Chains A and B, each alone.
Chain A
């Protein structure tokens, strides 16, 4: 887990407080998006139900498993640095990045498929929400991977240790936020009808 004994005695979450302000701002934006999707669907229930069936649920499941696995790998990376195992920390981070890459590849295939069928933001209200919500999240995955890559490089260079690993915890928290958003997005857009 990212929490340890020091966190037990703290009033603050793991990582830098600034990243948590950023995370809360991001989560708020996604919450507004989710509520907008749900209440817009209320006006177009049949349209949303019809076009939801055109989405690739297998791809969405693979992406869900990829992000959950990636988050787990990040937890293991944080645990590794807490026992000064830098080598293992870097390996876990690289494994997490590879899962993020898998997510991007699968999602890109989905977008290419939709594009080849002539689907775009103006096709209908459902696709407008689906494409904008998932692409907004897609950009966050890229951002998260850049952060994970940066902390992997820093960890490999010995910048983190058992005593000082705030940077890794901050990056880990951001990545978990990316996972957290997808955990709601997946059932909302792909499953609930």
Chain B
């Protein structure tokens, strides 16, 4: 991520910010265009989990912490992510 931001000539946090905005706009467009279905719901959920991990690692600074404190946001995203994904999967006959 650092190399990419250097290549683009922007700060790493600005690159993360632009990614977060892009993923949010993608999520909105999926909703706006009336798309639905299990695949799209899971894709939107996956995008949200990626966004959450970006915030945790880069904005909260956990990506540079060693040991157990590196993982709480990942675990927080992983467990509800699995549960939500499972519930939506089960809601489709």
Contact = CB atoms under 8 A, between A and B. Distances in A.
A4 to B, nearest CB: 8
Q: What is the interface residue range for chain A against chain B?
A: 35 or more
Interface residues of B, number: 48
A183 interface: yes
A35 B56 CA distance: 20
Nearest to A31: B80
Interface string A6-19: 01101111100000
Given A72-B13, A180-B52, A193-B36, A38 B65 contact: no
B20 to A, nearest CB: 5
Interface in B1-57: 12-14, 16-17, 20-21, 24-25, 27-28, 30-32, 36, 41, 44-45, 47-49, 51-52, 55-56
Contacts, number: 144
Contacts of A74: 59
Interface in A39-86: 39, 41-42, 45, 49, 57, 60-61, 64-65, 68-69, 71-72, 74-76, 79
B80 A176 contact: no
7 contacts: A61-B28, A68-B21, A75-B59, A76-B13, A183-B20, A186-B24, A186-B48
Given A41-B88, A68-B21, A192-B44, 17 more contacts: A1-B13, A2-B59, A2-B60, A3-B64, A8-B64, A10-B65, A11-B66, A13-B69, A14-B61, A27-B76, A60-B28, A65-B24, A71-B55, A72-B14, A172-B60, A183-B52, A187-B27
Interface of A: 1-3, 7-8, 10-14, 20, 24, 27-28, 31, 34-35, 38-39, 41-42, 45, 49, 57, 60-61, 64-65, 68-69, 71-72, 74-76, 79, 169, 172-173, 176-177, 179-180, 183-184, 186-188, 190-193
